[in-house]
C-alpha cells in the first residue's frame, strides 16, 4: 500500500486543525478537521479559490438558516426550508463547493437551538481554522518540472517511432487496419503530460509560465494530424517514386524532431515536394491516380503538422524555462 503526499498532508492537517480548535475552546472542534480534509486540493490556486468560496457560502448559509430558525423554530422543518433556499442560491452564485461544509456548521445552530453571536463566532472560527490549515498544507507542492521534461522526451521519441512506421508503410504498402499501438501510447503520454502541466501551472503564484501547457497542446494537435495521416495511409498501396519521396521526408522529420527545431527547412522541403508532384507526369491508371491524390492529401496534412510546430516555435522560441 502506497501512501501519497496528499494523504499525509490531509491527515496531519486535520489533526492540527482539531488541536488548534480545541486550544481556542471552540465547540465541535472535530468539524475543523473535517473542513481541512475537504479543503486540501491538488493545486495551490484551487486551494485558495475553494477557501474564498467556502467563506462566502458560510456567510450565506448562516444568514439564511438564522432567519428560518428564528421564524419557524429549531426543528427539521426549518432546516429543510433553509436547504430549499440555500442550495439554489449557492448554485446560482457558483458556491456549490461550500454547500456541504456550510450545512454542517448550520447543524450546530439546530443542535444548540441558538443563532447567537457566540455561535456565529464559533462556526466562523472552525471554518477559518480548517481552511487556513488546508492552505498551509498546500503551500508545499513538489515541482513537476523533471517529470514534464521526461514526458517531453518520451512524446518526441514516440512521434519519431510513428513517423518511421508511417514511412515504412509508404515504402512497402503493408497497412495495419487495426488501431496503431504507437498512437495509443502517444495519446496516453500526452494525457498525462497535459494534466501534469496544468497542475504545475496552478501551483505557481509568481513567475508563471504557460510553456508546458502550450507545448503539450501543440503535440496534441500534431497527434490529431498523425491520426489523419494514418487514415490516408490505408489508401497508398502502390510503391511509387512519390511514395518514396514522402517516406524520405517523414524520416528526415523524425530525425530532426525536437522542441527547439523551428521546422523552417522542413517546410521548404515540403514546398519542393509539392512542386515535384505538380511537375510529375500524370498517372496512367485509376489506381495510380487514387494513390497520387491520397499522397497529395497526406502531404497537405503533413504540412499542417509542420505549421503547428512553426506557430509554437515563433511564440516560445525566446522563452526561458525555469530549471528544477
pLDDT tens-place string over residues 54-63: 899 999 999 9
Domain ranges of the chain: 5-140, 144-317
3-state SS class at 282: coil
State how far the Cα of 135 lies from the Cα of 13, in Å rounded to an integer: 10
Instruction: Print burial letters for 141-179: b (CB count within 10 Å at least 16), e (below 16).
Output: beebeebbeebbebbeebbbebbbbbbebbbeeeeeeee
Q: What is the pLDDT of residues 191-240, one digit of tens each?
A: 999 888 887 777 665 555 678 888 899 999 999 999 888 887 777 666 66
Question: What is 144-317's CATH topology?
Answer: 1.20.120
Environment class of residue 23 by beta-carbon count within 10 Å: exposed (0-12), middle (13-18) or buried (19+)? exposed
Per-residue confidence in pLDDT tens, the chain, 324 aa: 667 777 888 898 899 999 999 999 999 999 999 999 988 877 777 778 888 888 999 999 999 999 999 999 999 999 999 999 999 999 999 898 889 989 999 999 999 999 999 999 999 999 999 999 988 887 776 677 788 888 988 999 999 999 888 888 877 766 566 678 888 999 999 999 988 888 777 766 555 567 888 889 999 999 999 988 888 777 766 666 677 777 888 888 888 777 666 667 777 878 877 777 677 666 666 666 677 777 778 888 888 888 888 888 877 765 544 222
Q: What is the pTM of this model?
A: 0.65
Longest dimension (CA), the chain: 93
- In this structure, the dihedral spanned by the alpha carbons of residues 118, 123, 128 and 134, taken in order and rounded to 10 degrees, is 150
Amino acid at each position: 500500500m502506497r501512501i501519497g503526499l496528499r494523504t499525509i498532508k490531509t491527515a496531519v492537517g486535520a489533526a492540527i486543525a482539531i488541536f488548534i480548535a480545541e486550544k481556542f475552546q471552540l465547540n465541535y472542534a472535530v468539524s475543523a478537521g473535517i473542513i481541512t480534509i475537504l479543503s486540501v486540493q491538488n493545486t495551490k490556486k484551487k486551494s485558495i479559490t475553494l477557501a474564498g468560496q467556502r467563506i462566502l457560502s458560510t456567510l450565506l448559509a448562516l444568514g439564511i438558516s438564522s432567519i428560518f430558525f428564528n421564524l419557524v423554530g429549531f426543528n427539521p422543518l426549518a432546516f429543510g426550508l433553509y436547504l430549499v433556499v440555500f442550495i439554489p442560491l449557492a448554485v446560482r452564485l457558483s458556491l456549490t463547493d461550500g454547500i456541504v461544509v456550510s450545512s454542517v456548521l448550520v447543524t450546530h445552530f439546530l443542535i444548540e437551538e441558538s443563532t447567537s453571536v457566540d455561535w456565529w463566532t464559533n462556526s466562523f472560527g472552525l471554518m477559518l481554522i480548517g481552511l487556513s490549515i488546508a492552505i498551509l498544507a498546500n503551500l508545499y507542492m513538489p515541482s513537476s518540472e523533471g517529470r514534464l521534461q521526461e514526458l517531453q522526451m518520451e512524446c518526441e521519441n514516440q512521434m519519431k517511432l510513428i513517423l518511421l512506421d508511417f514511412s515504412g508503410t509508404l515504402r512497402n504498402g503493408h497497412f495495419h487496419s487495426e488501431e496503431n499501438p504507437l498512437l495509443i501510447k502517444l495519446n496516453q503520454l500526452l494525457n498525462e503530460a497535459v494534466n501534469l502541466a496544468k497542475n504545475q501551472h496552478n501551483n505557481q503564484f509568481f513567475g508563471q509560465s504557460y510553456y508546458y501547457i502550450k507545448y503539450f497542446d501543440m503535440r496534441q494537435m500534431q497527434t490529431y494530424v498523425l491520426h489523419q495521416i494514418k487514415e490516408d495511409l490505408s489508401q497508398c498501396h502502390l510503391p511509387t517514386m512519390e511514395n518514396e519521396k514522402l517516406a524520405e521526408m517523414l524520416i528526415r522529420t523524425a530525425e530532426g524532431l525536437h522542441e527547439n527545431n523551428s521546422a523552417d527547412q522542413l517546410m521548404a522541403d515540403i514546398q519542393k515536394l509539392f512542386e515535384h508532384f505538380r511537375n510529375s507526369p500524370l498517372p496512367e491508371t485509376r489506381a495510380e491516380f487514387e494513390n497520387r491524390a491520397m499522397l497529395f492529401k497526406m502531404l497537405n496534412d503533413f504540412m499542417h503538422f509542420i505549421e503547428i510546430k512553426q506557430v509554437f516555435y515563433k511564440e516560445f522560441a525566446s522563452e526561458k524555462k525555469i530549471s528544477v
